[in-house]
C-alpha cells in the first residue's frame, strides 16, 4: 500500500443549484430533474440511479415545468415563454418554441401523450399537438369568466389569519373524478369534480404545500411541503371486508431541510427534490419485493461526473463552476510526520486564476493539461482554449482564437499525457484530435460515429503513452481508438449498465472500466480481451458491500511505480485495488480500518485482500496521485453547502 502525503483540499466552493422540477418516466424508468440554473439531468433509475445525461443550463432559461410525453420525449417550459424539447441522444436541445403567452408556469401532457398543455402568465392555457418531429399549436383556452363548470374555492385560512392569499400550488385529477389540491395554507384537499364540493381536508403543514405527484395506480400520492417534509397518502380500505376506501395520510419523511419544490412517484419509490439541492429517492418498503440495494434510501447531492481536473506537474487544480473556472496552486510543506499527522503548510494554496465565461450558458466541461499550460472548456455553443504562461509569480492567459467551426461545443475534453494532443468529444458523436503547438493548434483527425448511431461520447481516456484513446457513450460499449493509426482499434463488449469512469493503465495498456452497478472490468487493449484478473473477479464476484455502495466511481488512476494497483474513488470512499492480493469473499471484512500496527505480519497477510478502502475523506469529489507519494483529495463538506443556502423556514424544535 504505502503511505501518502495527502493534500486535503476544501476550498472548492461548489454549490449545486436547487431542484425545481422532477419528472418520472415509467416507460424507461428514467427521471428528469431540472435545476434552478436551467440544467436538466437525466437519471437512470434502473442503473443504480446513475446520472447518465445532462443538458447544461442557461441563464435565461429558468425551467418551471418538465414533462415526458409520447413515450420518451422530454419537454420543458420556463419563464422565457419557450417550450423546449431535448434530444436525448445527441444531448442537445432539439428546438425551442415560443408559446406567446408570457412566462410558462406549468405544463402537462395528456395521458395518451399526444397533447401538451401549458399554462401561461397571461392566464391562458395553450394546447399543443405533439407531432413526430415537433409540436404544433392547436388551441388556446382563455381565462374563463363565466362558463367554468365548477369553481372550487379554497378558504384562505392561513394558520388562523386570513390575510394572505391562498395559492394552489398543485392539483391532481384522478380518474374517479377526485381532484386533489395542495395550497399555500398547508392543506391537502380532496374535491369531488362532479359537484365541485370539498370532500376532505388534511391540514398537514404550517407552511406551503408545494408539490404533488400521484402514482400510476392512483392508490397513493405524495406531497412536498416548504418545511422539507414529504407526506405519503394512501388509499386504504376502511375495513378489511368492505370495498369502501379512504385516503389516509401515512408516513411523513423528513429528508430535506428546505422547501420540497418537486416530487415524483415511481412505482416503488417516492422521489423528492428541493432548494437544499438533494435529490432524495425513498423506496416504498411494501413495493420492494426483496430487501436489497434498491430498498435503501438514496440521497444524490453531487453530479456523477468530474468537475475537477488536475495538472500533476505544476500541482494545479482546475475547478469547474456553472459560470466560471478557478485555478488553484496547491500548497506545499517541508514537514514530515507520522501516519495521521497534520502537517503545517509552508506555502498556502494560491488562487491563481478566476476565469468567467462569456454569455449566459453554463460550462459543460473543462480540462487543464498535465503540464498546466493549457486550459480548455466548453459551453453549449462555444469552445474555448487558453494558453497559460507562468512568469515567476505572474500568470498570463492567452486565448487561442480561431477555433474551427466544427468545434462548437464539447461534452468531454482531454489532454494527452505529454500535453501535445487535445481530444474533444463533441455532441454530434464525433471525436476530434487536435495537436497543440506553442500558441496555436492543428486539427489532426475526427473519428466519426459509426453510421446509424448518434450517441454522444461522454467519457474519454487516453493511455499515458498516447497511443490509445478510449471513449464511452451513455449506453453502447467503449470504443478504443488507435491514435497513431487514427483507426478504431476495438470495441469493448457492451454492458447493461452505463460506464461511470474509464482509464488506461500505463505500461500494460489495460483499460479499466467502472460501471454504475459498481462492477469494475479490466480489458487488455493490445490483447483485445478481458484480463485474467478481470475474469477471476467476475467469476468470484465482488463483495456484497462493494456492490451496495450508492455512488458511482467517478475517477480511476494508476500508480506509476506499482502496476498492480488501481486507484479509484467515489463520493464516500477511496480505494486501492491491489491485484496481487487475493480477492475478498463475502465473509471477509471489506472495510478494514487502518492496518493493525502490532499484529504479526502473518495475520495481516492472511486478512489482507485486494481492496484497500479509506473512508477518511468524504464527500470526496476528486482524488488523484500527484506523484508517487502524494495524493490530492478534494472534499466538499455538506455543512458548507447548507451554510450557503438561504435559511430554511424556522420551525420550533421541542426542547430548545
Residues in contact with another protein by the rule CB under 8 A: 186, 202-206, 234, 236-240, 246, 248-252, 286, 654-655
Task: Find the largest Cα–Cα distance for the chain.
Answer: 88
Q: What is the 3-state secondary structure (H, E, C) of 540-590?
A: HCCCHHHHCCCCCCCEEEECCCCCCEEEEECCCCEEEEECCCCCCCCCCCC
Min CB(338)–another protein separation in Å: 34
Q: How far apart are the first and last CA of the chain?
A: 48
Nearer to another protein, 203 or 603 (CB): 203
Please, are residues 81 and 100 in contact by the beta-carbon 8 Å criterion? yes
Min CB(274)–another protein separation in Å: 21
Q: What share of the chain is helix, strand, coil (3-state, %, to 5)?
A: 5, 45, 50
Nearer to another protein, 248 or 560 (CB): 248
What distance in Å separates the CA atoms of residue 519 and residue 101, rounded to the nearest whole number?
A: 49
Find, among 512, 593, 520, 606, the residue nearest to 559 by Cα. Answer: 512
Min CB(52)–another protein separation in Å: 32
CA distances from 551 to 175, 242, 572 (A): 38, 45, 8
Nearer to another protein, 286 or 391 (CB): 286
Min CB(242)–another protein separation in Å: 9
Min CB(232)–another protein separation in Å: 8
Nearer to another protein, 205 or 414 (CB): 205
Nearer to another protein, 252 or 595 (CB): 252
Whose cell is 471484512? That residue is 589
What distance in Å separates the CA atoms of residue 504 and residue 416, rounded to the nearest whole number?
A: 12
Nearer to another protein, 236 or 560 (CB): 236
Whose cell is 481530444? That residue is 423
Nearer to another protein, 239 or 336 (CB): 239
Please, are residues 190 and 178 in contact by the beta-carbon 8 Å criterion? yes
Min CB(282)–another protein separation in Å: 14
Min CB(236)–another protein separation in Å: 5
Please, are residues 83 and 74 in contact by the beta-carbon 8 Å criterion? no
Nearer to another protein, 289 or 391 (CB): 289
Q: Coil, helix or strand for 232?
A: strand
What distance in Å separates the CA atoms of residue 481 and residue 642, rounded to the nearest whole number?
A: 43
What distance in Å separates the CA atoms of residue 412 and residue 366, rounded to the nearest whole number?
A: 7
Find, among 463, 461, 429, the residue nearest to 446 by Cα. Answer: 429
Nearer to another protein, 16 or 224 (CB): 224
Residue 499, CB-side half-sphere exposure with 13 Å CA sphere: 29
What distance in Å separates the CA atoms of residue 485 and residue 489, rounded to the nearest whole number?
A: 9
Min CB(205)–another protein separation in Å: 8
Nearer to another protein, 295 or 400 (CB): 295
What distance in Å separates the CA atoms of residue 97 and residue 82, rounded to the nearest whole number?
A: 5
Nearer to another protein, 246 or 536 (CB): 246
Q: In angstroms, how far is CA 98 from the centroid of its own chain?
A: 28
DSSP-assigned letters across all residues of 275-325:
TT--EEEEE-GGG-SS-SGGGS-EEE-S-SS--EEEETTTTEEEEE-SSEE
Min CB(329)–another protein separation in Å: 44
Min CB(285)–another protein separation in Å: 8
Min CB(88)–another protein separation in Å: 35
Amino acid at each position: 500500500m504505502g503511505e501518502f502525503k495527502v493534500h486535503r483540499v476544501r476550498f472548492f466552493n461548489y454549490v449545486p443549484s436547487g431542484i425545481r422540477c422532477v419528472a418520472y418516466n415509467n416507460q424507461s424508468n428514467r427521471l428528469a430533474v431540472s435545476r434552478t440554473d436551467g440544467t436538466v439531468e437525466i437519471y437512470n433509475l434502473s442503473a443504480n440511479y446513475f446520472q447518465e445525461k445532462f443538458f447544461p443550463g442557461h441563464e435565461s432559461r429558468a425551467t418551471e415545468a418538465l414533462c415526458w410525453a409520447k413515450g420518451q420525449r422530454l419537454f420543458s417550459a420556463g419563464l422565457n415563454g419557450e417550450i423546449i424539447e431535448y434530444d436525448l441522444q445527441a444531448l442537445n436541445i432539439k428546438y425551442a418554441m415560443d408559446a406567446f403567452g408570457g412566462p410558462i408556469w406549468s405544463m402537462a401532457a395528456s395521458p395518451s401523450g399526444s397533447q401538451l398543455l401549458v399554462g401561461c402568465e397571461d392566464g391562458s392555457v395553450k394546447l399543443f399537438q405533439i407531432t413526430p418531429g415537433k409540436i404544433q399549436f392547436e388551441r388556446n383556452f382563455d381565462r374563463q369568466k363565466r362558463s367554468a363548470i365548477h369553481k372550487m374555492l379554497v378558504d384562505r385560512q392561513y394558520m388562523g389569519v386570513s390575510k394572505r392569499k391562498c395559492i394552489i400550488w398543485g392539483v391532481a385529477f384522478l380518474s374517479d373524478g377526485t381532484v386533489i389540491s395542495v395550497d399555500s395554507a398547508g392543506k391537502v384537499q380532496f374535491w369531488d369534480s362532479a359537484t365541485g364540493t370539498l370532500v376532505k381536508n388534511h391540514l398537514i403543514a404550517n407552511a406551503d404545500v408545494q408539490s404533488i405527484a400521484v402514482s400510476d395506480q392512483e392508490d397513493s400520492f405524495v406531497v412536498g411541503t416548504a418545511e422539507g417534509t414529504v407526506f405519503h397518502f394512501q388509499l386504504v380500505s376502511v375495513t378489511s371486508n368492505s370495498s369502501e376506501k379512504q385516503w389516509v395520510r401515512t408516513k411523513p419523511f423528513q429528508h430535506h431541510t428546505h422547501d420540497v419544490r418537486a416530487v415524483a412517484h415511481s412505482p416503488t419509490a417516492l422521489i423528492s427534490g428541493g432548494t437544499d439541492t438533494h435529490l432524495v429517492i425513498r423506496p416504498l418498503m411494501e413495493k420492494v419485493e426483496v430487501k436489497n440495494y434498491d430498498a435503501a434510501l438514496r440521497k444524490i447531492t453531487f453530479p456523477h461526473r468530474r468537475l475537477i481536473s488536475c495538472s500533476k506537474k505544476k500541482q494545479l487544480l482546475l475547478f469547474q463552476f456553472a459560470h466560471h473556472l478557478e485555478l488553484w496552486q496547491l500548497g506545499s510543506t517541508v514537514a514530515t510526520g507520522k501516519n495521521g499527522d497534520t502537517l503545517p503548510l509552508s506555502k498556502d494554496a494560491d488562487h491563481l486564476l478566476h476565469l468567467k465565461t462569456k454569455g449566459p450558458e453554463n460550462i459543460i466541461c473543462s480540462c487543464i493539461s498535465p503540464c498546466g499550460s493549457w486550459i480548455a472548456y466548453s459551453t453549449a455553443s462555444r469552445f474555448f482554449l487558453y494558453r497559460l504562461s507562468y512568469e515567476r509569480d505572474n500568470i498570463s492567459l492567452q486565448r487561442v482564437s480561431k477555433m474551427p467551426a466544427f468545434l462548437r461545443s464539447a461534452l468531454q475534453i482531454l489532454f494527452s499525457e505529454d500535453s501535445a494532443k487535445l481530444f474533444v468529444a463533441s455532441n454530434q458523436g464525433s471525436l476530434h484530435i487536435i495537436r497543440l503547438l506553442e500558441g496555436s493548434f492543428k486539427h489532426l483527425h475526427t473519428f466519426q460515429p459509426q453510421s446509424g448511431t448518434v450517441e454522444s461520447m461522454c467519457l474519454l481516456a487516453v493511455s499515458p503513452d498516447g497511443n490509445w484513446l478510449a471513449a464511452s457513450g451513455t449506453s453502447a460499449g467503449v470504443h478504443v481508438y488507435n491514435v497513431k493509426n487514427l483507426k478504431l482499434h476495438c470495441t469493448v463488449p457492451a454492458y447493461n449498465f452505463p460506464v461511470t469512469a474509464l482509464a488506461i493503465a500505463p505500461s500494460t495498456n489495460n483499460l479499466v472500466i467502472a460501471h454504475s452497478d459498481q462492477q469494475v472490468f479490466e480489458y487488455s487493449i493490445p490483447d483485445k480481451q478481458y484480463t485474467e484478473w478481470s475474469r477471476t473477479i467476475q467469476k468470484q464476484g465482488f463483495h456484497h458491500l462493494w456492490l451496495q455502495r450508492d455512488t458511482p466511481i467517478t475517477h480511476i488512476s494508476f500508480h506509476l511505480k506499482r502496476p498492480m494497483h488501481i486507484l479509484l474513488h467515489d463520493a464516500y470512499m477511496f480505494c486501492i485495488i491491489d491485484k496481487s492480493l487475493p480477492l475478498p469473499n463475502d465473509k471477509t471484512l471489506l472495510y478494514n480500518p487502518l492496518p493493525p500496527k502490532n499484529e504479526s505480519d502473518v495475520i495481516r497477510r492472511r486478512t489482507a485482500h485486494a481492496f484497500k478502502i479509506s473512508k477518511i475523506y468524504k464527500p470526496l469529489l476528486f482524488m488523484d496521485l500527484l506523484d508517487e507519494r502524494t495524493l490530492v483529495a478534494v472534499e466538499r463538506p455538506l455543512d458548507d453547502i447548507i451554510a450557503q443556502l438561504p435559511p430554511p423556514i424556522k420551525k420550533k424544535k421541542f426542547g430548545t
